[in-house]
Amino acid sequence: MPHCTTRDGVEIFYKDWGSGRPVVFIHGWPLNGDAWQDQLKAVADAGFRGIAHDRRGHGRSTPVYDGYDFDTFADDLNDLLTSLDLRDVTLVAHSMGGGELARYIGRHGTERIRSAVLLSAIPPLMLQGPDNPDGVPQEVFDGIKAGILKERSQFWKESSVGFFSADRPGSKVTEGNKDAFWYMAMAETIEGGVACVDAFAHTDFHADLKKFDVPLLVVHGDDDRIVPIDATGRRTAALVPGAVLKVYEGGSHGIALVPGDKERFNQDLIEFLKS
C-alpha cells in the first residue's frame, strides 16, 4: 500500500487515482480517506489526479499516541505534497480537514497550491465565545470526549444521526452512510479521537485565513449540526477576499457522502477545478 513517511517517522497512507493536475483531499474527523471515494472517482474520470490520505492515527496510517494538533497535521500534509512533488494543487478539505488546509497555508504558503475548497469546514473558529456567539459551547465538546471514553462504538453509532441530519423529514441518508461513518470512526485511535476534539474546538485559524491568496470555494449546508455555518462557512467566505460561498439548503455535515448532495458537490467541484 502506498505510504509517505513523515519527518518524525509516521507512515501516512494515501490513495492516488488518475492523472493530470493534482487534487488532494483532506478528510474530516473521525473519518479517513475512504470518505472521499466518490470524489476521487469523479475527479479522476474528469481528467484530474485525485489523492486522499489518512491522517495520522486514522485509518491505515500509523496509530500514534501523540501529534494530534494542527501544526503537526499541516506538516504531515506538507511531507505528503513534497514527497510526491505535487504542484499546481487544488486542496479540498472537509470539516476538521479544513483546519489542516488553513494551517498548511498559514505555515507553508501557496507555492504549490493553485486553489482550495472548504466543505463544511471548521475555520475560522469553532468554540463559542464573546467574539464568536454562533460557535459551539465548550460543554458540547466535553460531552463528545466523554462519549468516546465511555463506549466509543455506541457513541459513534449515535453520532452518525446528527452527522448526516438523518432524523430530518425527507432525509436521503442511507443505513450504509451511517454504517460507513461508524466503520471509519472505529479505525481512529481512541487517543486521536479525544485529542482531536480539543484541537478542532480551540484552534483559531483567523491568522491562517489572512494568508490565503488563491481562489477559494466554500461549500456548507445550512442544516449542518456539527459545524454551524454562521460561525464558520459564512465567516470564512467573508474573511477571504474573492471567496465564493455556496450554501446547500437542508445540507447536513456529511454532504460529500449523502445521495443527492454528493452529486451536486461533485458537479460544483469539477466546475471549480475547470474554471
Q: What is the pLDDT of residues 120-173, one digit of tens each?
A: 999 999 999 999 999 999 999 999 999 999 999 999 999 999 999 999 999 999
Does the annotation mark 83 as catalytic?
A: no
**Of 234, 254, 243, nearest in space to 214 by CA:** 243
Predicted structure pTM score: 0.97
Catalytic residue among 53, 61, 95, 159: 95
> Mean of the pLDDT values across residues 68-82?
98
Active-site annotation holder among 54, 75, 224, 261: 224
224 is catalytic: yes
What number of H helices and E strands is found in the chain? 9, 8
How far is 248 from 202, CA to CA, in rounded Å? 26
**Residue owning grid cell 459564512:** 234
The whole-number pLDDT of residue 16 equals 98
Reply yes or no on whether 253 is catalytic.
Answer: yes
Q: Which fold has domain 3-274?
A: Rossmann fold (3.40.50)
Domain range annotation of the chain: 3-274
